[in-house]
Amino acid sequence: MHIKLKSIRLKVAAMLIVIIFPCILVVGLLFGDRNYAITSPIILLLSMFPFLFEFEKRRPKAQELVPIAVMAALAAIGRFAFAALPQFKPIIAIIIITALAFGPEAGFLTGAVAMLASNFFFGQGPWTPWQMYCCGIIGFLAGLLGQNGFLKHKWSICLFGFLSGYIYGMIIDIWTVSVFTSQITWQSILAIYASGFYFNTILAIATAFFLFVLERPIIKKLERIKIKFGLIEDT
Segment 35-60, tens digit of pLDDT? 777 888 888 888 877 766 554 454 54
User: Band of the pLDDT at 32, cuts 50, 70, 90?
Assistant: low
Q: Distance of alpha carbon 38 from its chain centroid, rounded? A: 19
d(C-alpha 207, C-alpha 225), whole Å: 24
Are the C-beta atoms of 72 and 31 separated by less than 8 Å?
A: no
Q: Distance of alpha carbon 213 from its chain centroid, rounded? A: 20
d(C-alpha 11, C-alpha 211), whole Å: 27
> For the domain that residue 116 is a member of, what is the CATH number?
1.10.1760.20
d(C-alpha 112, C-alpha 99), whole Å: 12
Counted domains in the chain: 1
**Residue 234: inside a domain, yes or no?**
no
**Residue 235: inside a domain, yes or no?**
no
The helix (run of H) or strand (run of E) holding residue 37 is: helix 36-47
pLDDT digits (tens, 9 = 90+) for 84-128: 988 999 999 999 999 999 989 889 999 999 999 999 999 998 899
d(C-alpha 182, C-alpha 109), whole Å: 33
**Residue 148: inside a domain, yes or no?**
yes
Range of the domain at 207: 8-229
**Number of CB atoms found within 10 A of residue 164's CB:** 27
